Structure 1
Amino acid sequence: MRGDVVRGLVDHEPVPVALGALTVLSGVIDAVSFLALGRIFTANMTGNLVFLGFAAAGEPGFDVAAAGTALVAFVAGAAGAAWLASSIAAPHRRSSARSRRRPP
């Protein structure tokens, strides 16, 4: 039985197998961080949005401050990373545009 599973994985394309492995890894990281950090999802912000929705609906036991802080930190980190990436790429884009211009 085990050999069939291994052969089945080897016969598949590498991308779906890698995506499946990354999905499992993301779930493990989410579960461990959820338990270790006091009911906060770190791998996926979807969980924190669900918690905020439950809290907004009046369900007891959901910490709005924790989920909101995680969500704000995620958005700030994503915005900061986008700004940093665009500022690093901006000089390269300008020099590439100048090198493509034809002399008059």
Structure 2
Amino acid sequence: MSTTETDISVQYLFAPNASYNLLNLTTVKFLSAVFAGAIAGILGLENYAGFALFITSTLWSALCMHFVNCRGKPAKYVQGGWKDLVNPGQDNAFTFVLVWTLFYGIVHVYD
């Protein structure tokens, strides 16, 4: 039975710290989706331009978390490593669309 490099690195994660980091990562992703949706709605972006803004904001927040919070080593702080930083999650995509349509409807109702 052989162990891989990732199995060994997962063994060194302290579970309470990993869950705390995951909770903070989820919060940052949620806020990023909310603010990106608000910006897309206020700017009046439609179709692919709005989703491009969502992808850009997700990548930007992942890069900031990678370099600032994880100090360039996300596998040390998050169990999934870089993959968990970039993955926006289904809930955050729906949050983005909800806030996007809300702000679009509020700002551009009489256009």
Q: TM-score, normalised by structure 2?
A: 0.29
Higher relative contact order (CA 8 A, sep 6+): 2
Larger radius of gyration: 1
